[in-house]
Amino acid sequence: MAEHIYHCSLVSDWTAATAAGEYTVSTRGRTLQEEGFLHASYAGQVDGVLARYYTDVTEPMVLLVIDPDRLTVPLIPEAPSGSQETFPHIYGPLDPAAVVEVLPLRRGEAGWATAGTAP
């Protein structure tokens, strides 16, 4: 069994995806079609991603917990330009069946954090 990966999502985007049968938001404000893949994180990267890209978001958010073994599209660990750290990139639409848990995120003084158990 592969290690779970994580994706930060607006509640509205996740709700739309479950209705449509696929999730196609790559990252905040960018679609799969625009970016070419869906951004995801390993457990130890989630807090940094939330701090770097979502501090000013006021809409409700969730953390999607994804089982890589359930993906129907390629998953490729890649380092962003100028970085040594790799992130999991999902090359295609995310089937909601690959999401094994949806954790609510809460907004606090220090930014976003999982409302339940931390990854």
Tell me: the pLDDT tens digits for 9-29?
999 999 999 999 999 999 988
pLDDT: is 109 or 30 the higher one?
A: 30
Q: Which domains does the chain have, with CATH numbers?
A: 5-114 (3.20.170.20)
**Mean pLDDT throughout 85-90?**
96
H runs (alpha helix) in 21-74: 32-35, 46-53
Cα 30 versus chain centre, distance: 12
Model pTM score: 0.90
- In the predicted model, what is the mean pLDDT of the chain? 91
**Whether the predicted pLDDT of 31 surpasses 60:** yes
* Residue 98 φ/ψ, nearest 5 degrees: -80, -10
Q: Quick check: 88 and 80 in contact, CB under 8 A? A: no
The residue count of the chain comes to: 119
Strand-pairing partners, residue 101, are: 65
